[in-house]
Chains A and B, each alone.
Chain A
């Protein structure tokens, strides 16, 4: 039986000041060598984690969202968190903004000037990869060789979003990229699936009770740094 948990959207008004997506995972303590080194057994594949520090916001709507979030992230709830623009994402200047990549509003309409409001650039996967694999290939011919080590990419399979850190990338045959990723694929990807360059990730907060402090002066929600760990779905 597959367990299908509720996934809650991250409130868009809550923009982090600091954000780091990590892909290392944990390690099991193994033993000591004769030289006294502690040997650890790293997690095969690894598990991603995310730390967020939110800005102190100044308007009522944002603070209300923040207060809601303080409750929502408790009890192991799964949050769908978009990674905000940072050096961990392929910069927009490398990608250009083509109208094909832009997204309309939810009713399918654009702004009155014909421009859409958001974009989610993606490239097609070149060949299928199995669940658990640590390597994918993608066709970057539409953008060129823009993906580099340290960038974060993502996939969407069904209702689930997955983010992966690029640990290694090589380009062959033009702009076909072979990308070593961590953590490994949580779902199989097929050829021509989208590899997103503005990924979202599904995370569970591990310090919710401790990090959500208080509504200071009953107006400003105060958080410590929120630590999230990948929800393995």
Chain B
């Protein structure tokens, strides 16, 4: 069952938000090399339909410890920087990420959505639905002492910098957008033929009006 049909099934004939008994939360998969981290917007450990366990990032006081930016539609080709701030996971993961920036660089950060129906507890039966994917650029770390309601607390933060998959489009191309060049690239990759750029010459010196 798709996310849409599942959601519509939960909404049913409800005419008011109070009648809906389904909760949608985001899940973040930081695919660090060797130290994959799965976090979700909630409390406790959530298990998805594939058996993966996701750690909740909302603490006992109801404070969201993971700071995730609002990711915008990337269809305009822009690739803004996004900064995700991770809470302290455990010392092994934290030390590994701290000592090796290459664990993050070029790896993927994927956001999914989980749909919890009534009575499903922390095991949503619907597989997680893809939301968006970003490329991690690197990590930054900070640790320090702070005062909180009379207690001194040591805090660790790992900041992950990410950009959308549009990142790098403005770089100088390493090839020419012609049928000949495309066939040569295909040959180098081991494919017999690639006609993907065959439409390009026909578009030369033509004017396209979009949206009129």
Binding-face segment, A41-49, A88-96, A120-128: A41-49
Within 8 A of A (CB), among B12-55: 16-18, 23-25, 41-47
Number of B positions contacting A (CB below 8 A): 32
Contact indicator A44/B91 (Cβ below 8 Å): no
- Residues on B with C-beta less than 8 A from A25 are 43
In the assembled complex, which residues on chain A have CB atoms less than 8 Å from the CB atom of B69? none
Residue of A nearest to B118 (CB): A134
A232 cross-chain contacts in B, Cβ below 8 A: 43-45, 56, 60
- Say yes or no: is B82 at the interface (Cβ < 8 Å to chain A): no
- Number of A-B residue pairs, CB cutoff 8 Å, is 95
B residues in contact with A206, CB < 8 Å? 60-61
A222 in contact (CB, < 8 A): no
Q: Which of B18, B44, B61, B119 contacts A183 (CB 8 A)?
A: B44
Asked if B143 lies at the interface with its beta carbon under 8 angstroms from chain A, I say: no
- CB-nearest residue of chain B relative to A184? B121
A interface secondary structure, majority = loop
- Given A33-B16, A44-B25, A130–B43 Cβ distance below 8 Å? no
* Residue from A2, A184, A209, A210 having most chain B Cβ neighbours under 10 A: A184
Task: Verify if B203 is at the interface (C-beta below 8 Å from A).
Answer: no
Of B41, B58, B90, B119, the residue contacting A134 (CB under 8 A) is B119
Are B17 and A1 in touch, CB under 8 angstroms?
no
Q: Can you list, as one digit per residue, whether each of A53-92 has a CB less than 8 Å from chain B (1) or not (0)? A: 0000000000000000000001110000000000000000
A132 touches B121 (CB 8 A): yes
Q: For residue B149, which residues in chain A have a CB less than 8 angstroms away from its CB?
A: 209-210
Chain A residues whose C-beta falls within 8 Å of the C-beta of B122 in the assembled complex: 44-45, 131-132, 134, 184
In chain A between 15 and 46, which residues have their CB closer than 8 angstroms to a CB of chain B?
Answer: 25-26, 28, 30, 33, 37, 39, 41-45
Interface residues of B in 78-94 (CB under 8 A from A): 90-93
The residue that B45 contacts in the complex, of A74, A131, A134, A229, with Cβ under 8 A, is A131
Contact of A132 among B16, B18, B123 (CB under 8 A): B123
A3 CB-CB contact with B under 8 Å = yes
Would you call A39 and B46 a contact (CB within 8 A)?
no
Residue A176 is within 8 A (CB to CB) of chain B in the complex: no
A166 and B25 CA atoms in complex are apart in Å by: 25
Of A43, A74, A186, A229, most buried by chain B (CB within 10 Å of CB) is: A43
Q: Is the CB of B43 within 8 A of A47?
A: yes
Nearest opposing residue in chain A for B119, CB measure: A134
Q: Does A185 contact B (CB under 8 A)?
A: yes
B68 nearest CB across to chain A (Å): 13
A33 in contact with B17 given A43-B42, A132-B47 (CB within 8 Å): yes
The reply to whether the CB of A133 lies closer than 8 angstroms to some CB of chain B is yes
Q: Does B5 contact A (CB under 8 A)?
A: no
Interface string of A161-175 (1 = CB under 8 A from B): 000000000000000
14 A-B residue pairs with Cβ-Cβ distance under 8 Å, sorted by A, are A1-B90, A26-B58, A37-B18, A41-B24, A44-B124, A45-B42, A132-B45, A132-B46, A132-B123, A183-B44, A184-B44, A204-B60, A209-B151, A232-B43
Interface positions of B (Cβ within 8 A of A): 16-18, 23-25, 41-47, 56, 58, 60-62, 90-93, 116, 119-124, 149-151
List the 7 shortest-distance A-B pairs measured between CB atoms, nearest first: A184-B121, A134-B121, A132-B122, A209-B150, A44-B116, A229-B60, A132-B123
